[in-house]
Amino acid sequence: MDIALSLMILAIIALLLGALALYRRGGNRKQAGLMLVLAGVLTVNVAIWTLPNSNGDTLARAGDAKTAPD
């Protein structure tokens, strides 16, 4: 799970930098806006997986604790 969350964070950074570069170049502003929306969606997704609930557990740690059935 840690690898997936790390890749999502890297994707968020890449999307933000790409949207900024595209917007500054005067390129397709609609595409830059959609990149920002996707970065926002990924940010909320990471927050859902990493923020603790009332018991102090996170979804990421709960997923790591489960084992596959035999």
Q: What are the residue boundaries of the structural domains of the chain, listed by start? A: 9-50
The predicted structure's pLDDT at residue 31: 95
The pLDDT of residue 70: 55
Give the pLDDT confidence score for residue 65 in this predicted structure: 65
| Alpha-carbon radius of gyration of the chain | 16
45 neighbors 29 (Cβ within 8 angstroms): no
Half-sphere exposure of 57 (CA within 13 A, CB side): 7
Contact predicate 1/60, CB 8 Å: yes
The pLDDT score that the predictor gives to residue 44 is 96
Q: What pLDDT shows up at residue 39?
A: 98
Instruction: Give the pair of three-digit tokens for residue 21.
Output: 């570069």
Q: What is the model's pTM?
A: 0.79
Please tell me the distance from the alpha carbon of residue 18 to that of residue 22, in angstroms, as a whole number: 6
What is the residue-averaged pLDDT of the chain? 87
For the chain, which residues score pLDDT lower than 70? 63-70
